[in-house]
Amino acid sequence: MAYQAEISRKNPGCFLFLVDQSESMEDPFGGGEAGRRKAEELATILNKLIHNLSIRCAKSDSIYDYFHVGVLGYSEESCKPALGGDLSGRSLVPISELANKPLRIEERVKKSDDGAGGVMDQTVKFPVWFDPYSKGGTPMCAALKEATKITQTWCQEHPNGFPPIV
């Protein structure tokens, strides 16, 4: 039987991303762009995901808090919230606040269909919440323990909510 909890502003969902920031993330990403590191690819993917979540929660001129989102980075001997800027140190952030507080907006070039069977370069604005980082070991167990604490607290605050997605 499918889970019945509805995600709404009154009953938000929770996304908690655990991000490997160890030294191995400095390695090249296989099959990707020449010279791209795993940490760079991960940052791009995570930033796109946060942007897409923000878009899905937008109606008219507002972004509704259907989700709380967190990013935990683990490297060296620690695990800590990995969002920077105004969101630094926070484990979970309502999506409206996250959407409105990227670290910066970059201009990036992406390939687009030119309508005639070819491909053209298109410059797009790209919000960045998370930067690549790679150093030290991989304390994955510490990340899972911290994720447990964060999601337990979130579940106590939202007892009828959809189960957190980690």
Q: What are the backbone dihedrals phi and psi of residue 153, each rounded to the nearest 5 degrees, phi first?
A: -60, -45
pLDDT at 110: 82
pLDDT at 43: 96
Burial of 73-82, coded b for 16+ CB within 10 Å and e otherwise, reads: bbbeeebbbb
Q: Residue 132 is encoded by which pair of tokens?
A: 């690549």
Q: Which residues of the chain have pLDDT under 50?
A: none
pLDDT at 33: 58
pLDDT at 127: 94
pLDDT at 92: 98
pLDDT at 80: 94
pLDDT at 32: 57
